[in-house]
Structure 1
Amino acid sequence: MKRYCLVLDLKNDSQLIQEYEAHHKKVWPEILKSIKDSGITSMEIYRWENRLFMIMETDDGFSFEAKSKADLANPKVQEWEKLMSHYQQTLPGRESGEKWQVMSQIFKS
C-alpha cells in the first residue's frame, strides 16, 4: 500500500463550495468505479476554507499515468471532471488547468 496526499483550491465562493460538497455527498457510481478500478483503495477529501486536501491509499499497481490514461478514455469521468472544474481553481504558481497537486511528506513520527 502507498499513501498520497494532494492539494487543490476551490473558487472562493461560498455558494460554489456548498455545491461542490453536495456533489461529493452523492458521487456518481461510475466515478467510484473508476477510482477503485485504478487501484485506489481509499480516498478521503477534507476542506479548510476553499483549500482541499485529499488522502489516497493505493495498491502496489497504482500509477498516476495509468489513472490519467483511463480517465481520458472514460466519457463519464470526463463529464465529472468538466463539472468539477466549474468549482476548482489552479493553485498559485501552477499552470492553468493543473488540478490536484501531489504533496511531499516532510515529517512522520
Structure 2
Amino acid sequence: MFLLLLLLMVACRNSGNKASEKGNGESDQYRMAVEVVLEDEADMNRLLSQFAEIKLEKYAWKNHVVLFGDKSDTAGIGEIIRTSDIPYEIKWYLHPFYIFDKLSCCADTTVSSSWNDYILTANLVEDTVLQNEYMAYHKTQFTKWPEVAQGFCHAGFQQLLVFRSGRQLLLVISVPSDKTLDELDPKTVENNPRMVEWNNLMSRYQEGIEGTSDDETWVFLDKVSTEKDLKR
C-alpha cells in the first residue's frame, strides 16, 4: 500500500509540474481560457452576442468575461477580436502553471463523467520577489506540501488549474456535476492542518483585482447561459 501511494504521489508531481518544468508546449491536453476586460460594463450583452457562436463556456464578473474550455473550440475568436468595435482588453490563459488531476493524484482514480467548473480570479501582490516565491511554492508543492493534493483528493475535486497573465491569476476548480464547491471545499481542510497552513501562507501573496472591495481577494465569475443571465 505504501508503495502504491508513493507511486501515485510521483505521478501527481509529474502531472502537476509539467507546465512549469517543461514549458508551454507540454500542457496542451488541458483546457484554456480567454479573458475580455471591457472598458464599459454596459457593452456586456453586445459582447456576448458577438461570442455567441464560440463553443467555449462563458463566465462574467462586472466588466470581465472569461471564455473557458477546450482549445479546439477557440476557432473564430481571433476574427471576432480583430473586427469588434467594442473597446476591451484581451488576456490569454493558454497553459496552466499548476495542475492537479484526480486521475494522477488520488488513490481513488474514479473520475466523474460530468463536471461543474468554477472560475475565480485574483492578483499577485505587486512585488516581484513575492511573486517569484509564490511560483516557487507551487512548483514544489506536490513534493514539499503533499497535504494540499491530499486535501483536494479528500474533497473530491476532479481537476484544479491555475493560470497566470502578468500579475493576474485565474483559478479553475472542477467538481462532479452533482456536487457544489460550497459543499466540497470545506473537506479540503478536514483533519488537515497543513492545508490550513498552506492557505494562510498563500494569502500573503494575493490581493483582489481592480473593482474588488478591500476585504475581497478571490472573486467568482458567474456562468452565463444566455444574455438574460447578464441583465441585473
What is the TM-score normalised by the length of structure 1? 0.81
Query: Cα distance, 1:74 vs. partner?
Result: 3.0
Whose RCO is larger (CA < 8 A, sep 6+)?
1
Number of residue pairs aligned between Structure 1 and Structure 2: 107
Aligned to 1:93: 212
CA–CA distance in structure 2, aligned partners of residues 71 and 95 of structure 1: 25
Q: Say which of 40, 49, 56 aligns to 2:157.
A: 40
Letter in 2 for 1:29: P
- C-alpha separation in 1, matches of 2:188 and 2:179: 14
1:71 maps onto 2:184 in alignment: no
**Unpaired segments of 5 or more residues in structure 1?**
none
SS of 2:158's partner is strand
Give the Cα separation in 1 of the matches to 2:213 and 2:156. 27
Matched, 1:49 2:166: yes
Q: CA deviation at 1:21?
A: 0.6
**In structure 2, which of residues 134, 139, 142 is the aligned counterpart of residue 25 of structure 1?**
139
1:13, 1:19 → 2: CA distance? 10
> Aligned Cα RMSD in Å?
2.3
Bigger Rg, structure 1 or 2: 2
Structure 2 distance, partners of 1:36, 1:87, is 24
Letter in 2 for 1:5: I
Structure 2: gaps spanning 5 or more residues: 1-114, 227-232
Taking only the aligned residue pairs, the percentage that are identical comes to 28
Structure 2 equivalent of residue 2 of structure 1 = 116
